[in-house]
Structure 1
Amino acid sequence: MSLLRFLAATFKIALASLITGAGLSFFDLSSAELLARIGMTPADLWAYIMRGVTWAVPNILLGSLIVVPVWLLTYIFLPPRGDA
């Protein structure tokens, strides 16, 4: 059932994005123009995204060195809970 909820949420986000994009297109607004209004360029946005990714990936991997083994031990040694 959770896959169905995930797909429904994904569809709703895609539909909202499509409607918003169509509305912005109707008013002749582009993503470059919107970025220019806040003082950014597409290259600046890409640089910020890449900077975020290069910061996040090593930290995710570092955290997973602790989280995954703890989860695995918990999964193995704790008795399963009932679906009450």
Structure 2
Amino acid sequence: MLRVLSAIIKIGLASLATGVVLSALNISAAELLAEIGLTPENVFELLQQGAAWAIPNIVLGSLVIVPIWLVTYLLRPPRN
């Protein structure tokens, strides 16, 4: 858990530093998206499409994986 929290904090600080540098250079997120041919609306739509595809597949996979994990966890020999 500590590793995950540490990684999240590092990513946040790196993102903040990058944002400060880009802001100092007068570069905005909309300009960067325009350079690659996207708009904020397109990005939001792509994220929605990705979630619409991923969520049903995650649920379907978890219907198989979770019971297998549960049985494996319950049948594991006890630790000291």
CA distance in 2, matches of 1:4, 1:57: 27
TM score, norm. by length of structure 2 = 0.93
Residue in 2 that maps onto 1:69: 67
Residue in 1 that maps onto 2:10: 12
Residue in 1 that maps onto 2:39: 41
TM score, norm. by length of structure 1 = 0.89
Gaps in structure 1 of 5+ consecutive residues: none
Gaps in structure 2 of 5+ consecutive residues: none
Identity of aligned residues (%): 54
- Note the alpha carbon deviations across 1:42-63, whole angstroms, 9 max, x for none: 0000000000000000000000
Post-superposition shift, 1:80? 3.8
- Aligned length, in residue pairs: 80
Residue in 1 that maps onto 2:25: 27
Post-superposition shift, 1:74? 0.4
CA RMSD of the aligned region, Å? 1.2
CA distance in 2, matches of 1:7, 1:71: 25
Runs of 4+ in 1 over 6 A off after TM superposition: none
Q: Which amino acid aligns with 1:73?
A: V
Q: Which amino acid aligns with 2:44?
A: W
